[in-house]
Structure 1
Amino acid sequence: MPTGAKLFLILSGALLPLAVIAVFATLQMTRITVEDVRSRLRVTANESAHALAIELAGDMTALRVAVRALGTDPADAPSCARAQGVFAQQANSGTRFAILDPHGTLICGDPIARAANPGKTDRGIAAAILPDRGLVLSITGPRGGNTARAFFPASFLSMVAAPTTRATAYGSVLTDDRDDQLVLQAIPGEQSFDRLETSHIDLGVAGLALRTTTRSAPITSSFVVALLLPLLMWAAAAGIGWFVVDHLLIRPLRRLRAAVAAFTPGEIIDPVAITSLPAQEIRELGDTFRAISRTVALHEAGLAEGLVRQTKLTREVHHRVKNNLQVISSLINFHARGARSADATAAYASIQRRVDALAVVHRNHFAEMEENRGLNLRGVIGELAANIRATAADISMSMRITLDVDPYLVTQDVAVALAFLITESIELATSCDPSAHIRVAVTPSDADATKAVLRVVSRALVDGDLLRELVKSRYGRVMEGLSRQLRAPLHHDPLVGAYEIPFAVQGRD
């Protein structure tokens, strides 16, 4: 049986009973406690809101009657006395009222400061909540006449809204249509992570509403069981899962990993230590590694033998190419000494310099072949300049070549093109002026960090009739072809007398 099936059956048999018990206990506890709390909260919230609405509506009705009566007769003392009688019962708690004429003069009651930003008028009554202090209700008589205001302190409103039952702690907050709040009663010991149930009831007076809150459910034995059962399930799952996975998978894989880590090319992995373990997949994986290592060992032996043959063949080819170039250079030199005219001797020398340029690049490439880093331009151009100077004609013996080359590494193709381009540029300069002073520089490119710039400068390369004629008839096509091989434009500065071209580099030595 696969290891995954074993693990699934073991975990299912161990955890399924615990999971079923936890689900039923949690559902039953939640349903009972939530319904009980909600039903008690609805009863309490309706009772508190009803008592508060009756008190506020009755007091404001008495003030409305007094305002209308005093609006008709300002000297109506009985109307004022009736209003005072209504508020006399709450006077000890700080409740008071004031009736003012249109000019703000007190007609009846006690002075009350005007509440800022009253809310919307509901049936002629406007409300303003003073946080942490109380509530101000105001009413205006017919046709903008007398005005009455009543102040209800928070302690009085809390007493009126207090529920008759004290078995459960409740919190109540008075709110208006502007979301201002007046806390009437806070739940003792309330914390931010408590689960709360809330009821919101409109009082029907000036947009006021009462929000009643209580804790959702106390901690009971069912709640403790519902909390502990998932922990027990986790502990059982972790223990059983660890036991199964460690003995069937982890330990065998650890032994197999050690065997694979100790593997070296040419050897064969022999995982004898994992053949007796219960995980069939691990045993099959060990057999697969053994077969792969055997195949790799055979291929390694073949590749090593082929690499030895290839190295010998490559060395032989390079050796023969180097010898052939030396033979060609010697033959050219032999024919140059037997030439019957100076022009023929100069032609042979020109051909020999180009063969030497190719030979220089090949010798440096053969020397760097083992490391495969690339050719060092400083060594290549230095040897090339020495060969050109050594094979110069007698008339060009006063020629000077100055080098300023950074140690860049390039491929063989780039080195061949640069060697020929430098040779052609120097040949062009000496054809214009045999005693020319030539400067060859290789510097970093300002535009691209992966490129460098070759610059050949000489006064002999300043624009002139002879230069244009030589470029057109002999050197121009060759130099243009080399620039295409380097995949970059060859720029000529006719005023300074300079040829320059960017080329790709592999790095610096």
Structure 2
Amino acid sequence: MDQTLDASAASRSQQRSLAARMPTGAKVFLILSTALLPLAIIALFASFRTTQIADEGARAALRIASAESARKIGIELIGDMTALRVALNALDADKADAPSCARAQGVFAPQAASGSQFAISDEAGRLICGTPLPSSLAVAPSGKSSITTRVISGRGVTLAIRGASGQTQAEAFFPVGFLAKTAKPSEFAPDYEAQLLGGDDALTLFDLPPREVLERRGTLRIGLGLGDLTLQTRARSAPITSPVLIAMLLPIVMWAAAASIAWFIVDRLLIRPLRRLNASVAAFTPGEEINPGAITSLPAQEIRELGDTFRAISRTVVEHEAGLAEGLVRQTKLTREVHHRVKNNLQVISSLINFHARGARSAEASAAYASIQRRVDALAVVHRHHFAELEVNRGLALRSVLGDLASNIRATAPEGSAKLSIALDIAPVLATQDIAIAVSFLTTEIIELSMTSNPSAPIRITVRDGETPDRAVLRVVSPGLIQTDDLQVLVEERYGRVIEGLSRQLRSKLHYDPFVGAYEIALAITGRD
């Protein structure tokens, strides 16, 4: 007895363990399948059988009524047109054949009270027999033997035929009241709608009341054998009965049951655990470890595994953050050391050039050393400002760069340019290091060209906004840059190639105004200071 209980308990424990390991999606699928299968089977058979029986009865009744209506209309119209064809053939031989005309009038006499009328005319349109049709009802025959039809919405149908010789033609108009009376079934038939279709027009013989909300209708079309005339009928399908209503409500009940069961299962197994896990993750701060202990006892195995994964990730993040912080400190120190050494090296180079310039034996050598020193100073100015802006990475302020550059040039200017005047009007724009270096070198070369051409000429440097927000315009103006023969020689032999190369580095065309003495070029900027 004890062994049996132990085996049963072990079996239940194994089943619970298997259910706990089963994915949540499989659990939802099995529960929904078991709960909704009986309802699905009942709804399928009830709706299928009810709809089948109702539709078969409605189709049978509509088919019988439509066939009888089409037959009666076809017999009446074909008979009348046959009488007209006989009269036409007789009048083709003798247009004064009064008996043929009288027979045609006798055929249409019983229908005259309902508004039916006919007209026989010759090929010139002169009336031979009958009553002329108004132009709104007339139709021209299209062939010698075929019947031409015209459906006039709300009024009736006009048929036309031409005689065998083509010398005579006949038209007959049948009003809607006459056609509706003719088409009415002789025996009991369910209410239905009938329309005569021809071309793009439709003539309603009798209609059904407006369609109700739950009403269904069946449609049937039958050709009359007269041109393109077709009888279209519609009848109500079987009314909504209890079986049909049950069949319609069962899917709603199934949906409600499925939605309720799915919500309950998903809420218990997924939503609540995910909300708790989300709260734990949202409260996580770098350096701490996520503790999803509150959700480890829930039945969803995937949620438990997800919580363990988040905890492992938080541990890894803590370890990596410590390593990244240490590496960032080392990298910052190394970068500052590199910039410091570059700046010192540029200062050493500038000092060496200045030392050699003092020991030069000629004025030309001293001027050459000073020119080289100004270019090294231009690079040092850009590097110094780049290192200052490195922390925020906004770009270099051209106002500060060009201001320091002008100060260095005035400090190292030759004796003839000791009182050199450099005016600045710089917009607060920012540029990348590459653009700033090219601008500094280009400005230095143009100022060197002006000082060489006219040492005492004042210089004005401006930077203004360009045509677009990402462009600015650099302009250097000086009387020393006005076109002369000496200036042309300096440009061709010494400065021209350097200035042109720097303008290509800026990826823009350098404009020169020889009458004003101005160089102008567009620059790419990163923003405004």
TM range (shorter): 0.7 to 0.9
Q: Which residue pairs with 1:160 in the alignment?
A: 182
Quote the Cα distance in structure 2 between the aligned partners of 1:263 and 1:462: 69
Distance 1:83 1:275, change over 3 A: same
Matched, 1:208 2:203: no
Matched, 1:461 2:489: no
Q: Secondary structure at the match of 2:461?
A: strand
Letter in 1 for 2:476: V
Quote the Cα distance in structure 2 between the aligned partners of 1:286 and 1:61: 91
Matches within 5 A, 1:23-422: 23-65=44-86, 72=94, 74=96, 76=98, 83=104, 85-97=106-118, 112-113=133-134, 115-118=137-140, 120=142, 123=145, 125-138=147-160, 143=165, 149-176=171-198, 178-190=199-211, 195-326=216-347, 329=350, 333=354, 342-422=363-443
Distance 1:392 1:27, change over 3 A: same
- Contact 1:69 1:76 survives alignment (8 Å): no
Encode CA deviations 1:116-154: one digit per residue, 9 max, x unaligned.
Answer: 234545846544433222233455556456665544321
- Contact 1:121 1:206 survives alignment (8 Å): no
Structure 1 residues 275-284 or 255-264, which shifts more?
A: 255-264
Structure 1 residues 246-255 or 305-314, which shifts more?
A: 305-314
Letter in 2 for 1:305: E
Letter in 2 for 1:14: A
Distance 1:130 1:322, change over 3 A: closer
Quote the Cα distance in structure 2 between the aligned partners of 1:476 and 1:103: 98
Distance 1:426 1:39, change over 3 A: same
C-alpha deviation, 1:221, in angstroms? 2.6
Letter in 1 for 2:49: Q
Quote the Cα distance in structure 1 between the aligned partners of 2:168 and 2:391: 111
Quote the Cα distance in structure 1 between the aligned partners of 2:150 and 2:390: 94
Structure 1 residues 496-505 or 29-38, which shifts more?
A: 496-505
- Contact 2:143 2:162 survives alignment (8 Å): no
Matched, 1:441 2:462: yes
Q: Secondary structure at the match of 1:370?
A: coil
Q: Secondary structure at the match of 1:434?
A: coil
Quote the Cα distance in structure 2 between the aligned partners of 1:456 and 1:111: 99
Quote the Cα distance in structure 2 between the aligned partners of 1:198 and 1:206: 21
- Contact 2:144 2:164 survives alignment (8 Å): no
Distance 1:105 1:452, change over 3 A: closer
Matched, 1:3 2:3: no
Quote the Cα distance in structure 2 between the aligned partners of 1:424 and 1:103: 103
Aligned residues: 506
Match of 2:447 among 420, 426, 430: 426
Structure 1 residues 127-136 or 167-176, which shifts more?
A: 127-136
C-alpha deviation, 1:450, in angstroms? 3.8
Q: Secondary structure at the match of 2:437?
A: helix
C-alpha deviation, 1:435, in angstroms? 0.6
C-alpha deviation, 1:308, in angstroms? 2.4
Quote the Cα distance in structure 1 between the aligned partners of 2:501 and 2:126: 109
C-alpha deviation, 1:162, in angstroms? 0.5
Encode CA deviations 1:400-441: one digit per residue, 9 max, x unaligned.
Answer: 222232222122233233223222221221112111222223
Letter in 2 for 1:201: I
- Contact 1:256 1:271 survives alignment (8 Å): yes
C-alpha deviation, 1:97, in angstroms? 4.5
Structure 1 residues 183-192 or 261-270, which shifts more?
A: 183-192
Letter in 1 for 2:194: S
Q: TM-score, normalised by structure 1?
A: 0.86
Q: Which residue pairs with 1:504 in the alignment?
A: 524
- Contact 2:357 2:365 survives alignment (8 Å): yes
- Contact 1:123 1:206 survives alignment (8 Å): no
Distance 1:396 1:91, change over 3 A: closer
Q: Secondary structure at the match of 1:266?
A: coil
Q: Which residue pairs with 1:22 in the alignment?
A: 43
Letter in 2 for 1:129: V
Quote the Cα distance in structure 2 between the aligned partners of 1:503 and 1:103: 89
Quote the Cα distance in structure 2 between the aligned partners of 1:187 and 1:57: 28
- Contact 1:175 1:209 survives alignment (8 Å): yes
Q: Which residue pairs with 2:19 in the alignment?
A: none
Quote the Cα distance in structure 2 between the aligned partners of 1:212 and 1:276: 68
- Contact 2:353 2:373 survives alignment (8 Å): yes
C-alpha deviation, 1:382, in angstroms? 1.1
Quote the Cα distance in structure 2 between the aligned partners of 1:354 and 1:109: 116
Distance 1:27 1:402, change over 3 A: same
Letter in 2 for 1:170: Y
Distance 1:370 1:502, change over 3 A: same
Q: List runs of 5+ in structure 2 lacking aligned partners.
A: 1-21
C-alpha deviation, 1:368, in angstroms? 1.6
Distance 1:68 1:453, change over 3 A: closer
Letter in 2 for 1:506: T
Quote the Cα distance in structure 1 between the aligned partners of 2:489 and 2:133: 112
The alignment's C-alpha RMSD in Å is 3.4
Structure 1 residues 204-213 or 331-340, which shifts more?
A: 331-340
Distance 1:374 1:33, change over 3 A: same
Letter in 1 for 2:39: L
Distance 1:231 1:350, change over 3 A: same
Distance 1:391 1:142, change over 3 A: closer
- Contact 1:122 1:207 survives alignment (8 Å): no
Quote the Cα distance in structure 2 between the aligned partners of 1:457 and 1:399: 14
C-alpha deviation, 1:264, in angstroms? 2.0
Q: Secondary structure at the match of 1:435?
A: coil
C-alpha deviation, 1:487, in angstroms? 5.2
Q: TM-score, normalised by structure 2?
A: 0.83
C-alpha deviation, 1:359, in angstroms? 3.0
- Contact 1:444 1:452 survives alignment (8 Å): yes
- Contact 2:138 2:171 survives alignment (8 Å): no
Quote the Cα distance in structure 2 between the aligned partners of 1:95 and 1:473: 111
